[in-house]
Structure 1
Amino acid sequence: MENGLSAASTPPLPGKAAGGEPAPVATPPAATALQRHTCYDLLPVSYKVIVFDTSLPVKKALAALLQHGVQSAPLWDSVRMRFAGMLTVTDFINLIRHYYSNTSYDNALEEIEQLQISGLREIQQKMGLLRPRNIAIHPMQTLYEASKLLLKDHLHRLPLVDRVGNQETIVSVVTQYKILKYLAANAPGVTKLNTQLRDLGIGTFTNLATATAQTPLIEVLNIFIDRKISAVPIIDDKGFVLDVYEKYDVLMLAREGAFYDLEMPVCEALVKRAPDFEGIHTCTLSDTLGHVLETIRRMPVHRFIVVQDNMLQGVVSLSDLLAYLIEH
């Protein structure tokens, strides 16, 4: 051969196959499992979908969320006959902050009695807080596609909308938790199950958003929006975890009629929490990925508070876990 070298005697470059082509990259087991199944496959045989018309008063919508124990619902525009986005706890928090900054208590009470969901969305648009587009996915797209969209747009939930021509049908909602629960129960090929969290490189452990029991509620609501997080650990002056205030807890203020007393300490707001609160899910850095997934398989989880001897160390979110699983 030319230069005295045979093709077999020249090792391929790193990341290259012997023929000079890029070596194929193995697809992570979790990503493979999600690519093989559609969002429709995740739906139970029997289920209900709560959908709000945009003409519904906000007060009635909030009451319905509480009644059904859910944090969000798809919206339907009956004028345009199409999907119109999602109503979430974040929308309610934005409304509270708007009234807190721009009107009196009496005026706020009067306005919210009349305010429709469409009006709430107009307020958010003026505040620059409304998403520029309504994000949804077709139920026959894969769970992998849904996962990537959830992570890219920093969403906790994603509506499934079937489109045939100009006709749209809201089918259901897929969430990060549902996808992770599916993986925990149905993807035995997931690797590194025995790897400790400290070695996975996931989670937030610096610049943590926290509050104390005496922090005014309005400051916690501002943290939710400014930091784009769904829960704030409540700690004492030594850093020990006392509780967690979640976005969903804000809905309880509506039920109690206390959603304008925003100077109350967060410990007082926690007293109004729903009696069926699922509790705080904690873990340590020595817990394994398998242990965390088994917890998700057995019970509803929204995040893990990482502690050491009950002292706050960090937070591992569901998006942290989902992103890791589809990439490793």
Structure 2
Amino acid sequence: MGLPSSQHLGAGSISHSNLLPASTSQGDVDMSNVELPAAAPIVIHNPKEPEYTRKKVADFLHSHTAYELIPESGKVVVLDMDLPVRQAFHALCEQGIASAPLWDGEASTITGVISASDFIAILTRLRSSVSASGNPMSEAEMDAHTIRGLREEAAVDGREAKELVYVKPDDDLAKVVGTLSSAKCSMAPILSHDPGGLEVPDVLHLATLSAVLACLMRHFRASLASLPLLAQPLSSLPLGTWSPDAGVSSLPVVDDSRCLLDMYARSDITALARNSAYNRLQWEDVTLNSGPEGTLHAGLGPGSRHTRVHVCSKEDTLRTVVERLAIPGVRRLVVIHPDTRRVEGCVSLSDVAAYLFL
């Protein structure tokens, strides 16, 4: 029996509460106005840095497995290969994700992953079928194109779909990181069995670099001083992109003074599903400011209800950078001047993974 078009396995997510110190009684003595000196951070000075920290991180990666990335409860979205592209587009948008594993009911297995890059290629291909008069593509016309059909058409044109990249629960985290990095993937499904075998594979969860970072920080939570490299400011490390670069997956949106307004990433293509903005396919007439989000001025600060852009400064420590990138869904930090908000660079998950893990 095949999986449904959009399947949700479990519900909810793991949350970790902050540990608060237990209150103590001092009798009638009022301690409320007593100022205690801040404890100085304990930093291990090792002349062999960054090799010392990298060795500790490597030992951690080789001694922990992908099984530890699977939460006690969670949600996994799987899309059917025979789902119309329009519905798949809306499913990703509604779930707030940029990619999902694909279920092939004919082969009874997970056959691949569809990502934001695939949708960009699909929209580019469908655009050629829109008449020169600029008439929008109807929902019926969109529904005639399924994920399977478009992948088969691409194969006929010599553009074979990428092989499925996946990991298994017993794979150590070093292999998980190596698999994601070598395939240049943002995520890989954790499968219970190899696809194409006698056992039908279950999608247990999705492995990501941010999940590996979060696992690392949980493990060393009580002993972060044993990773002294994390105490170094970003400005002292060979990390991040500090000049215009080709092939990037996102671009900061700035004003005339180069102050940060927003971020537009490749994964934001799924936002076109809102109000069916994709069916026009007349991109020359659509600007970032007139897109389905309605405004560029999304929340930038930590108090914003819907924070789209996550930032740091050059003086923030590597620990701060790692902790922010360990948040699910955060794939990059824009480096800004703390006073002017002028954009200075960008640090991505892949940057940190290459520096700490590889």
What TM-score range do you get, normalising by the shorter chain?
Answer: 0.7 to 0.9
Per the alignment, residue 33 of structure 2 pairs with none
Residue 275 of structure 2 corresponds to 256
Aligned to 1:238: 257
Would you say the 8 A contact 1:281–1:301 is kept in 2?
yes
Distance 1:298 1:68, change over 3 A: closer
Deviates more, 1:287-296 or 1:182-191: 182-191
Alpha carbons 2:166, 2:189 under 8 Å: kept: yes
Uncovered stretches (5+) of structure 1, i.e. residues with no partner = 1-24, 210-226
Is 1:281 matched up with 2:302? no
Partner Cα distance (2:53, 2:347) in 1: 26
Corresponding residue to 2:334 among 296, 305, 327: 305
1:266 is the counterpart of 2:288 = yes
Secondary structure of 1:258 counterpart: helix
Query: Cα gap change, 1:30/1:133 in structure 2, threshold over 3 Å: closer, same or farther?
Result: same
After superposing on structure 2, the runs of 4+ consecutive aligned residues of structure 1 that deviate more than 6 Å are: 272-276
TM-score by length of 1: 0.78
Tell me if the contact between 1:99 and 1:108 (Cα under 8 Å) persists in the aligned partners: no
Change (3 A) 1:197 1:171: same
Distance 1:190 1:326, change over 3 A: farther
1:35 aligns with 2:62: yes
In the alignment, does 2:181 pair up with 1:151? yes
* CA apart distance, 1:132: 3.7
Q: Is 1:139 the equivalent of 2:169?
A: yes
Paired amino acid for 1:255: R
Contact 1:252 1:272 in 2 (8 A): no
CA distance in 1, matches of 2:109, 2:214: 30
Rounded Cα–Cα distance in structure 1 between residues aligned with 2:101 and 2:122: 18
Q: Deviations over 1:74-94 (max 9, x none)?
A: 111111122211112221111
Query: In the alignment, what sits opposite 1:201?
Result: 238
Counterpart in the other structure of 1:63: 90
Evaluate the alpha carbon distance shift between residue 318 and residue 128 of structure 1 in structure 2; reply closer, same or farther with a 3 A threshold: farther
Distance in 1, Cα, partners of 2:191 & 2:232: 38
Matched residue type, 1:184 = M
Which deviations, in whole Å up to 9, do the C-alpha atoms of 1:57-112 show, x marking residues without a partner? 12222222223222221111111122211112221111112233453354743532
Note if contact 1:29-1:191 (Cα within 8 Å) is conserved in structure 2. Answer: no
Give the superposition deviation at 1:292: 1.4
Aligned length in residues = 286
* Post-superposition CA distance 1:17-44 (Å, at most 9, x none): xxxxxxxx99622222121111111111
Deviation (angstroms), 1:119: 1.6
Identity of aligned residues (%): 30
Task: Indicate yes or no: 2:215 matched with 1:182.
Answer: yes
Aligned CA RMSD, in angstroms, stands at 2.7
Classify the secondary structure of the residue corresponding to 2:200: strand
For residue 172 of structure 1, the aligned residue among 196, 205, 208 is 205
Tell me the distance in 1 between the aligned counterparts of 2:232 and 2:158.
42
Q: Which residue of 2 aligns with 1:84?
A: 111
| Deviation of the 1:234 alpha carbon | 0.9
1:299 to partner: Cα distance: 6.6
Report the Cα distance in structure 2 between the residues aligned to 1:323 and 1:92, rounded to whole angstroms.
27
After the TM superposition, which of the residue ranges 55-64 and 161-170 deviates more from structure 2?
161-170
Per-residue deviation at 1:320? 0.6
Aligned-partner Cα distance in 1 for 2:242–2:156: 35
Equivalent in the alignment of 2:121: 94
Indicate the SS of the match to 2:75: coil
Cα distance between partner residues in 1 of 2:74 and 2:168: 18
SS in 1 for 2:229: coil
